[in-house]
Amino acid sequence: MAANLPLSSRRRRSLFLLLALILILTLTLTSLLSSPRSPSSNLSSLTSSSSPPCGCLASDLTNGHWSNATTPRQPLYGATCPFHRNAWNCLRNGRAHMDAINSWSWVPDRCAGDPVPRIDPVRFLKAMRGKKIGFVGDSLNENFLTALLCVLWSGDETARKWKRKGAWRGGYFPKFDLIVGYHRAVLLANYTWMPVEKLDQYPKDEIKGIYRVDVDVAADDWNRITKFYDVLIFNTGHWWGPDKFPKEKPLVFFREGKPINPPLGIHDGLNVVISSMVSYIEKEVPGKTLKLWRTQSPRHFFGGEWDQNGSCLFNEPLKEHELDSWFDSKNKGINREAREVNEIIREAILGTSIELFNLTHLSEFRADAHPGIWLGKKDAVSVWGQDCLHWCLPGLPDTWVDLLTARILNVFGR
């Protein structure tokens, strides 16, 4: 049909199409130029929004390095925090080099050279208004909890101590209706002392009694709070050794009320208990609850165990190339148990809704950050030795708090 049109009509039609195309291009260009955001800024926004905040990913804990090149950040709390535990209050106890301990920042590889952002306590309290955060485990989780309580106290100094629901200790932040609690359950499973006088099958001249561990029963300290908290952080591992349970007071493992035969050694018992507790958590803790399993906090005893004059009087973090000599199990060092326990944890939670919160690697460097000989009591070192297990506050656990709260905010909203 078009081929049969007169030449003038075809010219007019071509001109009309050309003008229409010019008008469309003009309107499009005007719209882009008048927009408050340019195409490049839109692309930048898309990239930024699709990249999770620094510190909230699992890889941010395991891939990075310590740096004191940036301007040191002052701790958010001091010696007067009401939630302090005496032995960890290194400022009050006069621990040397506290400024140096707190001058180091953890820099994840993916964060373009920037350290993990420090928590904004008020922003976090607002975001978590009306919620509850629970820690379950041994004293290293209590060490972690204490840091979180003191950091949050700096954002709400009306906070008061809280010990309900069977909690060993905790805090309530009334301005934001936030609860943070700690339930002491050092093995996670239920265990009870049975003196040898009540035991028929054990020679009375060899042991003083046994600790019965029911591998399939969660400890009373936390088995009634599985639906109470919005966030739960679990750990166990530091009590699973001969210093806590010597041969004259061994752990004996039971399942369904009967001794497990053949009897389990302490390492195999740990494996069974962790697997059993993971199954219990999967069954009893709601799916909406953020469930984290904190890996082992490494020890830094040098020259011997805690009761053999082991020491940790270091002035700076370890170097990367030194870590394996301290912690690799092949080297049979006295601090190797952290990585060994972590392998059991990883295998147990694989394929579950429990997320690994791996603080081990970044903490392995920090031989400089323990209380050491500054324990707050005159005779503490002569009785207990140096503390190369727990951490000074303020100190390394404040970085744990930065990473934990970044993970929580990424789940519950920024």
Write out pLDDT tens, residues 207-217: 999 999 999 99
Least confident of 53-67, 181-195, 240-254: 240-254
Residues 414 and 64: their CA atoms lie apart, in Å, by 23
Residue 148 token pair: 């979180």
Q: Does residue 124 carry a pLDDT above 70? A: yes
Residues 262 and 257: their CA atoms lie apart, in Å, by 15
- Determine the pLDDT at residue 242: 85
Cβ atoms within 10 Å, residue 72: 12
Cβ atoms within 10 Å, residue 411: 11
Residues 204 and 200: their CA atoms lie apart, in Å, by 9
82 with 173: CB under 8 angstroms? no
- The arithmetic mean of pLDDT across residues 323-351, rounded, is 94
Residues 4 and 1: their CA atoms lie apart, in Å, by 5
Write out pLDDT tens, residues 76-97: 999 999 999 999 999 999 999 9
Q: Does residue 342 carry a pLDDT above 80? A: yes
- Determine the pLDDT at residue 9: 52
**Across-strand partners of 387?**
372
Flag whether the pTM goes above 0.95: no
3-state secondary structure of 172: strand
Inter-CA distances, 161 with 6, 82, 173, 178, Å: 94, 8, 9, 12
- The arithmetic mean of pLDDT across residues 6-32, rounded, is 53
Residues 65 and 108: their CA atoms lie apart, in Å, by 7
- Determine the pLDDT at residue 239: 95
Half-sphere exposure of 175 (CA within 13 A, CB side): 15
- Determine the pLDDT at residue 38: 34
Q: Write the DSSP symbol of residue 138.
A: S
| Residues above pLDDT 70, as percent of the chain | 88
Write out pLDDT tens, residues 276-306: 999 999 999 999 999 999 999 999 999 888 7
| Residues above pLDDT 90, as percent of the chain | 77
- Determine the pLDDT at residue 105: 96
- Determine the pLDDT at residue 40: 33
**Across-strand partners of 181?**
134, 170
Average pLDDT, the chain: 89
pLDDT classification of 45: cutoffs 50, 70, 90: very low
Q: Does residue 14 carry a pLDDT above 80? A: no
Residues 185 and 206: their CA atoms lie apart, in Å, by 28
400 with 140: CB under 8 angstroms? no
Closest to 182 measured CA to CA, from 133, 236, 248: 133
Write out pLDDT tens, residues 127-141: 999 999 999 999 999
Better-predicted residue by pLDDT, 185 or 70? 185
pLDDT classification of 13: cutoffs 50, 70, 90: low
Query: What's at 262, amino acid-wise?
Result: P
**Contacts for 310 with CB less than 8 Å, ≥ 6 apart:** 301, 302, 303, 304, 334, 385, 386, 388
- Determine the pLDDT at residue 414: 58
